[in-house]
Each structure stands twice: as structure tokens, then as C-alpha cells.
Amino acid sequence: MTDMADLITQQTMKTDKNTAGLITGEEKELALHCMEAALKSGADQARISLSKSVLDTYGMMNGVLDKVAHSADRSVYLYVFADRKYGTFSTNMLDRAGLEDFAGKAVAAVKLLAEDVFRKLPDPERQEKNACDGRELGLYDVRYQDISPEERSAIAAAECIYGKTEANGKFRLISEECEYSDSVDDNFLADSQGFRGRHTETSFAVCSEITIEDASGKKYSGYWWESSPFLDRLERGRCSAEALDRAVRQIGGKRGKSRTCPMVVDRSVSSRLVAPLFSALNSASIQQENSFLKDTLGKKIFSDRLTLTDLARTPGKPGSRLYDTEGVATGNMDIIRNGVVETYFTSTYMALKTGLPPTVEGVSRPVLQPCCKEEDCCPHGSFGAREIIRRCGSGIYVTGFNGGNCNPTTGNFSYGIEGFAFRNGKITHPLKEMIITGNMTKLWNSLAYAGNDPRESTRWQIPTLCFENVDFSG
């Protein structure tokens, strides 16, 4: 552990055990003093962000404890608006005299920059008023304060299957890496208009990576992870089994032939196809003419079946937050509704620069709603990969992406994929060394199914997806 980590940990231990988070009252006052020092030094407006985090990691290698790591971090970011100019500065030390010097030099540096008349703090009426103690969304698990090193080690060890699996003539288990980690992140945000906000959350996670060798000497690897803001909701004891299964299923992979057919995308990787939409809906990309969704606000661009919402204020769920990095209040809102683009993500700066209405700066907890191409057969109960494959009949089930990219201006994409061929609703064999190509707008217009099976552990709630008529190259 570094000297700084030692210092932060010691300070953290001084906090009231019954109080969620890491930031002390004294540290908050020092952060506010830094902001006031910037104003006294000539800043017109200022914002301060104080963040602290602690991370503990216990790693197992082939069933033996191999790594124990403890890290602590603290950062202070000062945002200075002076003489229609703007700059951002950071430090990790908190002492009154040092912060005064830091703020004075920051303001002096900003005044040397070129003017940018669009840099301002947001309208106070748009900012969150009820993020007082960081616990409003229920993302802090008090259990975190009591977990011991012995319990952390035991959780990591419980994930291991190395030496516990029987010999198999089809493969040999070469190595297993299991890891348990827990963390707490605490942020205090304030600005010179009077905004004060705090967000505190815990996270608990387990993961495993398995490497195997088949009878011919070829090696394969599989990976799986689970996480939760709450220890008692963390799904444990199955990561290695899932990782092993994912490795074994790759044995005997074949190079697929080029074809155009339905594509089912596993829920564990489906967010890869949603990410380009959010990038294109960012007003900075639009302003820079680097978005294939420019001039689409309020227009129907995609299939009726595509509905994306941002459930940013869902209590107890990963990704939820009451405000963005400007302090602007989030809200549960439509992003795309039945194929119609309902919003761009527009910060205060980009709103002033483009004339677009200001919103939040980015997505928090996106949820893609279930859909079914049979209008009179909407999904009920469990509707995931197995049922979607059954309905599709024949095609390719994608379980991983291997490189590739999407052109942000045109929406044209090319991705390497791995997965399985399926026929008559059943998986037949693994596939390797294939590429999908196409255009994002066209792809999302071919959406046939979206399941109701997103992973609870993820911030982006994207389920299993199915698209028709996708081009695969062998």
C-alpha cells in the first residue's frame, strides 16, 4: 500500500461507523473552502468534486490464495469559470493552505486561456435538490463495514473448482483464476450557485477465468462474473462452473460459411450493439458532425419494436443516480420509444453551443424493453436465449465479440464474433472466425425479438436480442 493509501485509510477509519460513506465532515468543509478560495482569486463561478474510494481484492490461483490487495484513492477536482474561460484541475491532498494555493494557481492558469462564452454552470432549477447524504437511492450496504479479511478469503475460495472436477477425456483443466472484490465509492459535489449533492454506493463482485486444453492440445478459455451493490444479493458459487462451461462449449469450433441469416445475441454481450446508439445520441458528437443520428430528434428512425428507456432513479439498482456530474437532476425517461428518437444527451455547455434543449449529460441505467415480432404473441414468463432460438429456427447465436468497430458518422460496422450455429431451434456446433457487417440503423430496423432476461448485475439492462437478415462472412 502506498503512503497516500495509508493516509486515506487512516482517515476513513475515523468516520462514524453508523454513517454511510468515506468522506468526513472536515473533508467536505475543506472542499468547500477550496471552491471559495477560487472565487476569492477571481473565478466567476466554480464547482468542486471530492471523491473517495476503497477497494479490497482477494485472488485465487488454482485453488490457492495468490493475491491480496487493498487500495484507497482520494481526488479533488476543481472546475473554474473565469472571464468567460474554463479549466479543470485536480489534486489528492486536502490541507487548507495547500488548497488555497492550488485554487489561486488554477484561476490564474484559466485566465491565460482562450475565451469560451458557452462555459457556464447549469440553471439551478435543473439541479437535484434531494441528494443530501448519498443514501437516498439505497445503494450502500452497511454490511460492508463488518466484512472481515477471513470472510473475503472464504468467498474467493468458495468460487474455486480446481481440483474438485473429475478427469474428463474431452479436456484438461489447465488453470483457474478466481477473484472476490468489494468496494465503496463516495462522491461529494458542490458549486458556487448553492448546489450540494452526495452519492455513495458499495459493490461486491466475484469473477473466474478458466483455461482448458482439449485432446488435440488446443487451448480455450472462458470467463464469467457476478456483482451486486449488496453482499447478500451477490450470486456466488457458480462463476467457475459457468466459465468452465463457456470454455468447453468452444471445443470443436468450425469456420462458418458466409451467409445472411437471423442473429441471436446473448445478453452478456448484447450491450455492444447498443453502445453506438448512445454515442450517436450525444450532442457533442452531433455538434461535431460525427453522429449517424444527427437531425433525428422526434423522428421515427428504428423499428416499432425498439424501446429504450433510462430508469436512472431506480432504488437499489446498479447505475442509478440522482444527478450527473453537473448536479443536473436525472429522471426516468424515454430515449427511443417505438423507434422514435425522444432525446439527445445534452450538457449545459453543448446546449448553449448548439441551441439544443439541455438534458442530462449521459445515460445512467438504460433498459431495453422486451418485444416480439409476432404482434399477438408478446413474451410472458421467461423469455431468453433458449426460447428466442426456438422461435427463430435457424441462424447464428453470438456469445462474444472479438474486435471490430462502428463508424460513428455513418453507422456502418464490422465486428468479429464467436458463437454457435443453430438449426430447427437447437444449437448444433460452435463457430469461430466469423465477421458481421452492416449498418446500425438497418440492423435495429431488423429487430425481431428482445428478451426479458437482462443480467441483474449490470448497469445496462440489455437482454438477449434477435435480428433478422444479418450478413455473416466466414
pTM of the predicted model, to two decimals? 0.90
| CATH number of the domain bearing residue 186 | 3.30.2290.10
Which residue type does 310 have? D
One domain, residues 208 and 282: no
- On whether the CB atoms of residues 430 and 410 are closer than 8 A, the answer is no
Instruction: Give dist(CA 77, CA 103) in Å, integer.
Output: 10
Q: What SS3 state is found at 152?
A: helix
Q: Of 52-56, 188-192, 213-217, 226-230, give the lowest mean pLDDT range.
A: 213-217
Question: Mean pLDDT over residues 86-107, rounded?
Answer: 96
Q: In the beta sheet, which residues pair with residue 282?
A: 345
Which residue, of 228, 248, 268, is where some domain finishes? 248
One domain, residues 242 and 260: no
3-class SS string, 394-410: CEEEEEEEEEEEECCCC
Report percent pLDDT > 90 for the chain.
89
* Residue 166 confidence (pLDDT) above 80: no
Confidence category of residue 8, pLDDT binned at 50, 70, 90? very low
Q: Using DSSP bridges, classify how beta strands 259-265 and 395-406 pair: parallel, antiparallel or unpaired.
A: parallel
One domain, residues 232 and 269: no
**Residues 6 or more apart from 412 whose CB is under 8 A from it?**
406, 437, 438, 439, 440
CA proximity to 334, closest of 370, 292, 363, 303: 363
In total, the chain counts a number of residues equal to 474
Q: Using DSSP bridges, classify how beta strands 196-214 and 395-406 pair: parallel, antiparallel or unpaired.
A: unpaired
Domain that holds residue 170: 3-248
Instruction: Give dist(CA 471, CA 148) in Å, integer.
Output: 52
Question: Mean pLDDT over residues 3-29, rounded?
Answer: 62
One domain, residues 209 and 335: no
Question: Mean pLDDT over residues 361-379, rounded?
Answer: 85
* Residue 292 confidence (pLDDT) above 80: yes
Q: What SS3 state is found at 176?
A: strand
Distances (CA, A) of 155 to 141, 204, 452, 457: 17, 11, 30, 17
Instruction: Give dist(CA 291, CA 271) in Å, integer.
Output: 19
One domain, residues 200 and 347: no
Residue-wise over 325-348: b if at least 16 C-beta within 10 A, else e?
bbbbbbeebebbbebbbbbbbbbb
One domain, residues 298 and 229: no
Confidence category of residue 94, pLDDT binned at 50, 70, 90? very high
One domain, residues 244 and 262: no
Confidence category of residue 255, pLDDT binned at 50, 70, 90? confident
* The three cell numbers locating residue 210: 478458466
Mean pLDDT of the chain: 93
Instruction: Give dist(CA 70, CA 75) in Å, integer.
Output: 17
One domain, residues 232 and 273: no
* Residue 6 confidence (pLDDT) above 70: no
Question: Mean pLDDT over residues 98-117, rounded?
Answer: 97
Instruction: Give dist(CA 474, CA 256) in Å, integer.
Output: 5
Which residue, of 218, 248, 278, is where some domain finishes? 248
* Residue 173 confidence (pLDDT) above 60: yes
One domain, residues 237 and 280: no
